Amino acid sequence: MVCMVKGIPLLGLHLSRIARWVKGFRYLIESFLLGRLPPVLCPSTVQRQPEEMSEYFNLRWVNSKIWLIDSPTHNAEISLFQWHLDCPFWASNPPDQFFDLRPRDVINYPKRYPERFQQILTVDTSFPIETMYFESRLVILDGIHRLANLIVNDIPEIKYRIFPREHFALIEQTK
């Protein structure tokens, strides 16, 4: 079917393609009006990340190595870690390594990110999240999906372990 706009045929454009474009455009306008532009379109996103996390995004570690370290498990109110939901830890177009997707966007708009939302729903929350201090802030190294699952399911407490900063060489990814 050829789409017509004011009597002019838009050759090569199917209605489904136009509908997707309109839906995306509507999302951008709505996000702009509500002050929630997607991170990829909002350069200030990087500036909104806590300053003490700048080193975090330059480090590389192996999660399976963290799991092998014996350390005590702690409990805390989930609010201690909720700020992670506003940082773009994920890529909206994996396997691209362009981190432009915030967990809060996936939670708020599950139909836009069905695969990622499914990962949140099916993650095993019996394991504690793995954290490390960056200056005075406790930052998640492994467990963003678990955090998001607990938020979605309204669970007020979270289990976490703290990885000692001085032992980072044990988990560091080598090339």
Buried (b) or exposed (e) across 67-91, using 16+ Cβ within 10 A? eeeeeeeeeeeeeebeebbebbbbe
Do 28 and 84 reside in the same domain of the chain? Answer: no
- What pLDDT, on the 0 to 100 scale, is given for residue 42? 38
Whole-model pTM: value is 0.66
Measured on CA atoms in the order 155, 86, 138, 121, is the torsion positive or negative? positive
pLDDT > 90? residue 31:
no
**∠ CA(88), CA(119), CA(108), 5° rounding?**
55
Domain membership of residue 41 (yes or no) is no
pLDDT > 50? residue 113:
yes
Do 26 and 52 reside in the same domain of the chain? Answer: no
Copy the structure tokens of residue 15: 């209605």
Do 22 and 91 reside in the same domain of the chain? Answer: no
Res. 73 pLDDT band, cuts 50 70 90: very high
Q: Are 95 and 109 in contact (CB under 8 A)?
A: no
- What pLDDT, on the 0 to 100 scale, is given for residue 26? 53
Res. 30 pLDDT band, cuts 50 70 90: low
Q: Are 52 and 136 in contact (CB under 8 A)?
A: yes
Q: How many domains does the chain have?
A: 2
Range of the domain at 26: 3-36
